[in-house]
Amino acid sequence: MDLPVWVWIATLGGLAVVIAFDLFLVVRKPREPTFRESVCWVLFYVGLAVLFGLGVTLFAGGQHGGEFFAGWITEYSLSVDNLFVFVLIMARFAVPREQRQKVLIVGILLALVLRAIFIAVGAEAISRFDWLFYVFGAFLIYTAWKLLAHNESEEAEFSENAALRAVRKVFPRAGPLLIVMVAVGTTDLLFAVDSIPAIFGLTKEPYLVLTANAFALMGLRQLFFLVGGLLDRLVHLSKGLAVVLAFIGLKLIFEAMHHHGVSWAPEIPIVVSLGVIVATLAITTVWSLHTSRRAARAAVEEAEAQRSQRVEGAQP
């Protein structure tokens, strides 16, 4: 995509206006949003992303439009995984419920700036060293294996990263909210170590990589309040994300091999990639909800059985 400078300026300006408006709403009246508000805002941001993707398809062609949608869906799904850690951060620092919106919006804004730097560096590195596709592909496959090997029964814990420890050391009197904002922003960047190579496996266009990440992050605050109570039911999310990352990792390696003259290495069309991603995440969601319902039903039956045993034992 050979885009003029004004397109970049207009896009970044539009994203900045939306984020600034969101920040204004949060700062003006700090509180926890209602379920209805969260639903409306999530639908608003999803609608914006869909409209943007349709615009890319209209003006840049179906190939680039498909790349944006594949990248956005992948980044959005990986962002949902981030919410697990955000919940732990909020609990770890005992953030008041009315202040959580402010923490999330500032933390996500910090994450977006850090991701933009990460994307710029990654795009420049890939343009100079195409062998990095092998490295990215192998890293994504390794990450997928780690997700599959993770014991989901183990309770997750939050540990402070190096950036957070540095802030504590340099600013010993920093307020607790500042610490939590840094924790959210830098933790998201650690997750980007997986997601940025993943989206570069779907598109090589920095413009699409940046906008897909921006749209995935912008609605993350409202999504936190919307699905916070549903996260425990997505018990197989990590398995679905592992399949997606492994698929993109193989796609990267095949494309690099094809580029270097390996004739048997297949080129996977973006339509196929988009279909695999959507189908995998849909199956994972349905499987997770079915498993959660069965577990809840079994817990109720066990509780009823125990109550019956206590009643029978109490009878003379």
| Number of Cβ within a 10 Å radius of residue 161 | 14
The tens digit of pLDDT for each residue in 72-82 reads 988 888 777 66
In contact, 211 and 8? CB cutoff 8 Å: no
Chain-centroid distance, C-alpha 55: 23
Listed in sequence order, the DSSP H helices in 29-153 are 35-60, 62-92, 100-128, 132-149
Whole-number mean pLDDT of the chain? Answer: 78
The pLDDT value given to residue 207: 92
Q: Residue 295 carries which side chain, given as an amino acid letter?
A: A
Pairwise CA distance, residues 214 & 208, whole Å: 10
Pairwise CA distance, residues 73 & 79, whole Å: 10
Pairwise CA distance, residues 49 & 188, whole Å: 20
**What backbone torsions phi and psi does residue 174 show, to the nearest 5 degrees?**
-60, 140
316 residues of the chain, pLDDT tens digit each: 778 899 999 999 998 898 888 777 766 776 777 778 888 888 899 999 999 999 999 999 999 999 999 989 888 887 776 676 676 677 667 777 767 777 777 777 777 787 788 788 877 777 777 777 788 788 888 878 887 876 544 444 555 556 566 656 655 665 566 777 777 766 666 666 667 778 888 888 889 999 998 898 887 777 777 765 566 677 787 788 888 888 888 888 887 787 777 777 787 887 888 888 888 888 988 888 888 888 878 877 777 777 777 766 665 5
